[in-house]
Amino acid sequence: MKKLIISLSSLLLLALLGIIGMNYMKDNGPRTRVISPSGSRIIVEEMSYYISGDKVFGKLFKPADINGNFPDSLGAFPMVIFFHEPLKTEWAENLVKTIVPKGVVGYTCGFRGGEKEAEAIVKRLRKESFVQDEMVFLICDSSCGNEIVKAVTKLGHKIQGLVLVEPTLTGKARETYVRYGREFLTITDTMKGNAASLIEDYLEERGALK
């Protein structure tokens, strides 16, 4: 009897440690429902990850059905991840809100780290049940373009496309852009007003929108 109690206690302890570990790796925050610019409903959820002990803050955007719920029955969705300058969230979030109703899941992240952090975030998100891991697209602004381009070269086939907003690339990132830039979508300052439709066309060309 004593051995049984000890065994059960050990199992409970292991289960508790597992739950704590899962919560340490990912932190889901408050969930709200908003209306997109097109009038569609969207679920917004704070989703942050711990990368090398540091907390990386982000927001998840999911399309909602007429009842305001995420349609799990439809399976996984293509994903768009927008890495942007910290604290400058408005334009990035509004852009993602516009795209999500077209049939994707979006994630915005105030990016402070290097290419390894970007790689880690992409790999974590690809494992989520609501993400089509073969249909992941990245967007980045000029503040983190160099790091994201370098991350894309390492992630390889895990990334289906890259959108660069007002890129100012240098070094190896610039060399990569010169070589493979035709595979990327570049949005200049004068194109930003039409960015959503340009990105939607880019996603459709690459099989993300049907």
Q: DSSP readout, 146-200?
A: HHHHHHHHHHGGG--EEEEES----HHHHHHHHHHGGGSEEE-GGGGGGHHHHHH
Distance from C-alpha of 190 to C-alpha of 55, rounded to nearest angstrom: 34
Average pLDDT, the chain: 85
Q: Return d(Cα 136, Cα 122) in angstroms, integer.
A: 8
Element (H, E) at 82: strand 77-84
Q: What is the pLDDT of residue 27?
A: 63
| Residue-wise pLDDT tens digits, 103-161 | 999 999 998 888 899 999 999 999 999 999 999 999 999 999 999 999 999 999 999 99
Planar angle of CA 149, 102, 157, nearest 5 degrees: 30
Secondary element (H or E) of residue 113 = none
**Is the pLDDT assigned to residue 173 strictly greater than 80?**
yes
